Chains A and B, each alone.
Chain A
């Protein structure tokens, strides 16, 4: 279970950190804690991995990343871990996961994402991926995303209610 003060802290920062010179002091004031306690608690949450990262989350389409592709492979179960690790080494790979297949409709189990500024470039990177990880023999598909309907961070505020 998460300590109630940690939970208050999480709720206080989930929408964003204040853009002021002493952001943690401002949060401390709101929660009636000391700045030092906020810093100590946040450092611990980060160390424990509850907070994966503190920083900016970009709107990738606004930054020009319009050609975002999910690339999926049907990899034999015996090879999937090795290939997943190899794929993850390539600098243009943003995410790589093992997920379940769904019969003939969805035979793919290895998922990775390439965020790119043009389809041509992403297709070049896909070729590079296939050749450098020796994936020529495995069925694959590339799913571009022509539209984004919704994008937001997960919120945890309702945990308090």
Chain B
């Protein structure tokens, strides 16, 4: 990745225009040609620096629901439990974390009732208590990482 690639990532994290030739507009701001932008962007997607190029939806406004949840997994069961939890299509993210509650995952469902249903199923299949920590208030979301 070179300076132009970094520039592309940083610019496109801030947004993308909705107009007939959006790439042309972005390319002009970056001082490169439109074909160069298209080639480089495709390259960044193919090589896995970008997980996606597209929309970030507002889950709640879509009628869907999100929550953060955690479980306390015995060390020797870690791989099995991770597989069991990841197998749920409602699980969008799953991370190990350094705490007694050592596995943290995000559930994204089509409606709020499915959050509770999914948690019950995860508790049944893992035999672990799920600590549900839904968002009560959002103070800030600005996940922009300098490339």
Chain A residues close to B by CB (< 8 Å): 2, 10, 13-17, 19-25, 35, 39, 42-43, 46, 48-60, 62-63, 65, 70, 81, 84-85, 87-88, 93-100, 102, 105-106, 111-113, 115, 141, 143-154, 156, 158-159
Q: Kindly identify which residue among B42, B48, B140, B147 contacts A88, using a CB–CB cutoff of 8 Å.
A: B140
A154: chain B residues within 8 A (beta carbon):
57, 59, 64, 66, 92, 108
B113: chain A residues within 8 A (beta carbon):
none
Given A58-B13, A59-B49, A62-B49, A70:B104 Cβ within 8 A: yes
Contact code string B87-111 (vs A, CB < 8 Å = 1, else 0): 0000111111111110011001010
B70: chain A residues within 8 A (beta carbon):
106
Tell whether B124 is near chain A: CB-to-CB under 8 Å. Answer: no
CA of A74 to CA of B130 in the docked complex: distance in angstroms?
A: 20
**Is the pair A151, B96 in contact by a Cβ cutoff of 8 Å?**
no
Contact code string B4-33 (vs A, CB < 8 Å = 1, else 0): 000001001111101111111000000000
B91: chain A residues within 8 A (beta carbon):
150
CA of A15 to CA of B56 in the docked complex: distance in angstroms?
A: 10
Contact code string B104-147 (vs A, CB < 8 Å = 1, else 0): 11001010000000000000000000011111111111111101
**Is the pair B13, A24 in contact by a Cβ cutoff of 8 Å?**
no
Q: Kindly identify which residue among B34, B44, B95, B131 contacts A21, using a CB–CB cutoff of 8 Å.
A: B34
**Is the pair A16, B140 in contact by a Cβ cutoff of 8 Å?**
no
B145: chain A residues within 8 A (beta carbon):
58, 60, 63, 65, 94, 115
CA of A16 to CA of B55 in the docked complex: distance in angstroms?
A: 7
**Is the pair A156, B13 in contact by a Cβ cutoff of 8 Å?**
no
A–B pairs, 15, beta carbons within 8 Å: A13-B54, A16-B45, A19-B53, A55-B13, A56-B9, A57-B54, A58-B50, A88-B140, A98-B139, A105-B100, A112-B140, A144-B98, A150-B92, A153-B52, A158-B110
Chain B residues close to A by CB (< 8 Å): 9, 12-16, 18-24, 34, 38, 41-42, 44-45, 48-59, 61-64, 66, 68, 70, 72, 82, 85-86, 91-101, 104-105, 108, 110, 131-145, 147
Min CB distance B43 to A, Å, is 10
Q: Kindly identify which residue among A16, A87, A100 contacts B53, using a CB–CB cutoff of 8 Å.
A: A16
Q: Tell me which of A2, A35, A97, A156 has the highest count of chain B C-beta atoms within 10 A of its own C-beta.
A: A97
Q: Tell me which of B42, B86, B133 has the highest count of chain A C-beta atoms within 10 A of its own C-beta.
A: B133
CA of A62 to CA of B144 in the docked complex: distance in angstroms?
A: 14
**Is the pair B147, A55 in contact by a Cβ cutoff of 8 Å?**
no
**Is the pair B101, A153 in contact by a Cβ cutoff of 8 Å?**
no
**Is the pair B135, A99 in contact by a Cβ cutoff of 8 Å?**
yes
Q: Kindly identify which residue among A52, A143, A159 contacts B97, using a CB–CB cutoff of 8 Å.
A: A143
**Is the pair A70, B62 in contact by a Cβ cutoff of 8 Å?**
no
Which residue of chain B lies nearest to A90 when distances are taken between CB atoms in the complex? B140
**Is the pair B50, A59 in contact by a Cβ cutoff of 8 Å?**
yes
